[in-house]
Amino acid sequence: MPSLEPFCDITATMTPKMLGNMPLGTRIDFTFQGHAVSPHWEGERDVSGVDYVTVRPDGNMDLQIRGVIGAKRDAVSYQATGVSLGISRTEAAPQELITFATGNEDLAWLNDVVGVGLGRGDGAELKLAIYIVRPD
């Protein structure tokens, strides 16, 4: 049975930009900035990106995310798709499927794995735990 291996924890602040009603729901782009900690590096690394959100009629959100952890030669780019369950007007529970791209030799193994992100958004604050899916 596959297992989940902790990769990193992200804490970020989101800034919304309302784009309005679209055919599939209300579109909001959330830029985010924060930091990530991981057993795979020392200290904190900056995180930034954009979460392209469509709020569906059922109150849940479709997610398309592009982000970067770190900078320069240590940068890890990632793309994610998923859904965020609307818990209340200001709280949500994102669930993401993630792929990575990096030129960092120490983290090159990320280019060949899939990650899962599980988190909690409360107002402008986001906390996300990212796990690597390991096959049996």
pLDDT of residue 24: 86
Domains belonging to the chain, first-starting first, are: 3-134 (2.40.160.20)
Q: What is the pLDDT of residues 79-95, one digit of tens each?
A: 999 999 988 888 999 99
Q: What is the pLDDT of residues 15-50, one digit of tens each?
A: 999 998 988 899 999 999 999 999 999 999 999 999
User: What CA–CA distances, in Å, run from 105 to 72, 74, 89, 110?
Assistant: 13, 9, 42, 10
Tell me the average pLDDT across 99-127.
96
Which pLDDT band holds residue 11 (cuts at 50, 70, 90)? very high
3-state secondary structure of 112: helix
pLDDT of residue 89: 81
Please list the residues that pair with 82 across neighbouring strands. Answer: 63, 96
